[in-house]
Amino acid sequence: MSATVAGLLQIGALVLVLAAVYVPFGNYLAHVYTSERHWRVERLLYRMVRVDPDSEQRWTVYAAGVLAFSFLSIVLLYLLQRLQPLLPFDFGRAAVEPSVAFNTAVSFVTNTNWQSYVPETTLGHSVQMAGLTVQNFVSGAVGMAVAVALVRGFARSSTDRLGNVWVDLTRGVIRVLLPVSFVVAIVLVGLGAAMSLASGVDVTGVDGQQSTIALAPAASQEVIKELGTNGGGIFNANSAHPFENPNALSNILEILLILVIPVCLTRAFGVMVRDTRQGVVLVAVMGAIWGAFVAITWWAETHPNGTATLAAGAALEGKEVRFGIPSSVLFAVSTTGTSTGAVDSMHDSYTGLGGGVLVLNMLLGEVAPGGVGTGLYGILVLAAIAVFLAGLMVGRTPEYLGKKLGRVQITAAAISILAMPTLVLLGTGAALALPGELDAALNNDGPHGLSEVLYAYASTANNNGSAFAGLTVTSDFFQTTTGLAMLFGRFIPILAVLALAGSVAAQRRVEPGVGSLPTHGPLFGVLVGGTVVLVAALTFFPVLALGPIAEALS
C-alpha cells in the first residue's frame, strides 16, 4: 500500500470516528454543564472547599475565580519545582532554576506546555505527576468552563449570572477528562506506551557502551496531554518518542484525542442554545480550514524545493520513519490548529510552505478546531465580529443568537482577538531588536531564522506550546518574554470573553425579523471563515512575507 493511500485511509478513518461520536459525546458535554444533579464525590469536594454548588456568579466573580485559581496553581507548581530535592522520586535531580521554574509553571497553568528544558533529565516523577499532570487536567477544565460561560451568556436572557466556576471546573475534570483519560491510558499501555516509576533502565549497546534509557509514567500523562490539548511531553522527543507514541495505531489515537473535545463542543453549544444547526455551521468552518491546511502541508512536504529534499524525493528530515509524511502532517496540522503543541515530527525541518502553514494555523487564533474550550469561545468571538461586519454592510444593528451586538460587546470581542497579534508582534520585534540575544539563540539566519522567532511567540501567545526546535530559549530574556506572552495570551482573552458573556446574558432575547442575518446556514459559515482568514491576513501578512513566504519562494 502506498503512503498516499495509507494517509488518505487514516484521514478517512479519523473523520468517520469524529462524525460517529459528534452527537453522543457532544450531547453528553452539554448535559455535564446543564445538569442540576451533583455527584456524591463532587458534593464532598464542595464541602471541603466551602463552595455552595447551587449558587451562581456574575461574570466578574466568575473571572476572579479563574484568575485566583490560576495564580495559586502557578505558585504551587513553581514551589514544587524549586523544592524537587525534597520530594520522592527526585532521582537526585536538582531544584529547577528560578527562570525555568517560572516559565514552566506559567506554561502548564496556561495550557501552553511550552518546554525550555529536557524533561527526562530535569524533572523527577513527583513533579511530573503531582505538578504537570494535575495542571494538564485543571487547565483544560478552565478552558471548557470559560467556553460554557460564554454559551450560557447567549443562551440566557435578562440575567447577570453565568454559572458557578467551581462547579464547572469540577465537572470538567471529574465527568469528562478523568474517565476518558483512565480508559485510554490503559489502551495506550496495551499498545506499548511506557508506564513505570523507575528512572530508567541500563542497557549495553551494540558497540559495547553502557547507557541508560529513561523511563517514566508516560501513558497516563500522554492521554491528558492530548485530550486536554496541553502538549508537554514527558520525554524531550515528545510524541515522536516510542514510549509516548509506540506505533501508527497509537499515533492516530492521539490525533483523535486532540480533536475530539474541540469538535464535539460545537455540538454541545448547539444543544445549549437550542439550535443544533448553529453548532454545525461552526464545526463546518473548523473542518474546512483543517482539511485545507492538511492538503496544503501534505503537498508542500512531498514537493520540496531544497537541494537535499529534492535528492531525497520528499522533506523527510525530522520525521519519524514509523509515521512518514502523511501521519506527520496530520499530527502537525491538528496540533497547531488546536492549542496542543504536541509533536511527532520536528516542525523546524518542514519546507518553507509547510512550516508557514503551521505558523499560520496558530496565527488564525487556533480555531480549526482550537483547544478544549478555547477553540469554541475563539470562534464564537469571531462569529460575533462576522455578524458585526455584515451589519455594517447592510446598515443594520448586528444580532447573534437573538442578542444585539453593540459597542460593549464588539469592544470585548475586539480585545479578545487583538491580544494575541499584539503579543506575537511585540515579542518577535523585541527579540529581533536584540542581536546579542538572537546570535546566541538562533541556529539559522535569514527567512528561516525569522520564522523560528515568529513561531516561538506565535506558539506561546496562542498557548500552543509547540516549537520549531531551531531556537534556543534558555536565556532569561526568552524565559521572561515567552512567559509573559503565555500569561497575557491566556488571560486577556478570557477576561474579554467573560465580559462579553456577561453583557449578552443581561439582554433580552430579540426575535429574528425579516432583516436578521441567518446564522445557521452556509452563507454565514463562509462569512465566519472569511473573517477568520481576513483577520490573520491583514495582521500577519508582512511578517509572514519576510519569513516563511520568502523561504518558500527561494
**DSSP labels, 241-290:** STTTS-SHHHHHHHHHHHHHHHHHHHHHHHHHTT-HHHHHHHHHHHHHHH
**Cell numbers standing for residue 370:** 482550537
Least confident interval from 165-174, 197-206, 248-257: 197-206
pLDDT value at 365 more than 80? yes
Q: What is the mean pLDDT of residues 5-32?
A: 96
Regarding whether 395 and 508 lie in a shared domain, the answer is: yes
State percent of the chain over pLDDT 70: 97
**Cell numbers standing for residue 194:** 511506557
Which helix (DSSP H) or strand (DSSP E) does residue 337 occupy? Answer: helix 324-337
| pLDDT single digits (tens) 282-324 | 999 999 999 999 999 999 988 876 666 666 666 677 888 888 8
Report yes or no: 463 and 493 within 8 Å, Cβ to Cβ.
no
- Coil vs helix vs strand at 167: helix
Report yes or no: 118 and 100 within 8 Å, Cβ to Cβ.
no
| pLDDT single digits (tens) 104-150 | 999 999 999 999 899 999 999 999 999 999 999 999 999 999 999 99
Report yes or no: 438 and 431 within 8 Å, Cβ to Cβ.
yes
Provide the domain count of the chain. 2
Q: Where a domain ends, among 248, 266, 284?
A: 266
- Report the DSSP beta bridge partners of residue 201: 213
Domain assignment present for 173 = yes
pLDDT at 122 (0 to 100): 94
Range of the domain at 534: 371-553
Q: Where a domain ends, among 221, 249, 266?
A: 266
pLDDT at 311 (0 to 100): 61
| pLDDT single digits (tens) 217-241 | 999 999 999 999 999 999 999 999 9
pLDDT at 312 (0 to 100): 60
Least confident interval from 26-30, 170-174, 326-330, 512-516: 512-516
Q: Assign 496 a pLDDT band (cuts: 50, 70, 90).
A: very high
pLDDT at 296 (0 to 100): 95
Per-residue b or e along 116-151, where b marks 16 or more CB atoms closer than 10 Å to that residue's CB: bbebbebbbbbbbbbbbbbbbbbbbbbbbbbbbbbb
pLDDT value at 537 more than 70? yes
Local structure of residue 210 (DSSP, 8 states) = E
Least confident interval from 102-116, 366-380, 412-426, 535-549: 535-549
Regarding whether 186 and 63 lie in a shared domain, the answer is: yes
Q: Assign 459 a pLDDT band (cuts: 50, 70, 90).
A: very high
Comparison of pLDDT for 502 and 311, the residue scoring more: 502
SS3 of 354-417: the string is HHHHHHHHHHCCCCCCCCCCHHHHHHHHHHHHHHHHHHHHHCCCCEECCEECCHHHHHHHHHHH
Domain assignment present for 494 = yes
pLDDT at 538 (0 to 100): 82
Least confident interval from 305-319, 469-483, 508-522: 305-319
Regarding whether 524 and 405 lie in a shared domain, the answer is: yes
Domain assignment present for 479 = yes
Least confident interval from 26-40, 41-55, 164-178, 384-398: 384-398
Global confidence as pTM = 0.94
pLDDT value at 197 more than 70? yes
Q: Where a domain ends, among 225, 250, 266?
A: 266
Q: What is the mean pLDDT of residues 356-373?
A: 92
Regarding whether 379 and 257 lie in a shared domain, the answer is: no
Least confident interval from 65-74, 202-211, 502-511: 202-211
- Choose among 388, 371, 349: nearest CA to 144: 371
Domain assignment present for 362 = no
Radius of gyration of the chain, Cα coordinates, nearest whole angstrom: 23
pLDDT value at 543 more than 90? no
Least confident interval from 311-325, 385-399, 416-430, 465-479: 311-325
Cis peptide before 242 (omega within 30 of 0): no
Regarding whether 521 and 382 lie in a shared domain, the answer is: yes
- Choose among 512, 511, 501: nearest CA to 159: 501
pLDDT at 9 (0 to 100): 93
Domain assignment present for 461 = yes
Residue by residue, DSSP assigns 29-68 as HHHHHH--PPPHHHHHHHHHTT--TT----HHHHHHHHHH
Regarding whether 519 and 382 lie in a shared domain, the answer is: yes
State the virtual CA torsion across 173, 175, 176, 182 in degrees, nearest 10.
Answer: 90
pLDDT at 395 (0 to 100): 66
pLDDT at 97 (0 to 100): 94
pLDDT at 302 (0 to 100): 86
Domain assignment present for 366 = no
Q: By 3-state DSSP, what share of the chain in percent is helix, strand and coil, each rounded to 5?
A: 70, 5, 30
pLDDT at 83 (0 to 100): 96
Comparison of pLDDT for 513 and 232, the residue scoring more: 232
- Choose among 166, 133, 131, 145: nearest CA to 48: 166
- Choose among 455, 279, 423: nearest CA to 354: 455
pLDDT at 310 (0 to 100): 61
pLDDT at 518 (0 to 100): 87
- Beta carbons within 10 angstroms of residue 23's beta carbon: 13
Strand duo 399-400 + 403-404: pairing? antiparallel
Q: What is the mean pLDDT of the chain?
A: 91
Rounded to whole angstroms, the Cα distance separating 275 from 509 reads 14
Domain assignment present for 404 = yes
State percent of the chain over pLDDT 90: 72
Domain assignment present for 177 = yes
Q: Assign 1 a pLDDT band (cuts: 50, 70, 90).
A: low
Q: What is the mean pLDDT of residues 360-387?
A: 94
Which helix (DSSP H) or strand (DSSP E) does residue 549 occupy? Answer: none
pLDDT at 501 (0 to 100): 97
- Report the DSSP beta bridge partners of residue 203: 211
Least confident interval from 118-122, 248-252, 467-471: 467-471
pLDDT at 437 (0 to 100): 78
Q: What is the mean pLDDT of residues 369-398?
A: 89
Comparison of pLDDT for 540 and 515, the residue scoring more: 540
